[in-house]
Amino acid sequence: MPEFPTIPESRVWRGSLADLFAKLVMRAAELGGRWAWYALPRGAIVSLRRVGAAGALELRIARGETPATPEGFRAWEIELGVFLRYFGGRDAWEPTTLEDPVLIGTGIAAAFRAKPVPAPPLATCSKCGVPVHDGGLYRDDLCTRCAMEAGEREAQARGHG
């Protein structure tokens, strides 16, 4: 049976999972691309880092032992789901490949990349008031529909309609 690496007490997380995520996000920001991580008393190691120019969050959940039975794998999948639920929701993450699996040793790990958060609307349409996500379509802040209508009216006014 492989030994789980000896974890210093300062790295053992005994708080809630929601607080763990907040702490990891904070630490990852401080560490500038290196992994922030904590171990849970029941054996999972949860790591988070920021990658790329945009600083997208990458999450890694690992255990020192690979499950030996189908039931064990199911429990592992359930455990992953619990973490994701507390870490912003399953929809907030997509699976990604582990870049440095050497750190896992004989254990098991899963990695996830935070999905890009849709940008908030830049403005609202000055005619009809709907949010405008892609500014610069037209001279004013107009939604696509109003911009097309305005364009058609202009074309008609110029005698091209």
Residues that bind Zn ion (CB under 5 A): 125, 127-128, 143, 146
CA distance 73 to 10: 29
Compute the least distance from the CB of residue 161 to Zn ion, in Å. 20
User: Would you say 89 or 136 has its CB closer to Zn ion?
Assistant: 136
Q: Considering only CA atoms, which of 35, 155, 126 is closest in space to residue 11?
A: 35
Task: Give the nearest distance from C-beta 139 to Zn ion in angstroms.
Answer: 14
Residue position matching structure tokens 């993450």: 93
> CB of residue 130 vs Zn ion: minimum separation in angstroms?
5
**Rounded Cα distance, 70 and 39, in Å:** 24
Between 77 and 134, CB nearer to Zn ion: 134
Query: Which one, 4 or 138, has the nearer CB to Zn ion?
Result: 138
H-helix or E-strand containing 86?
helix 70-86
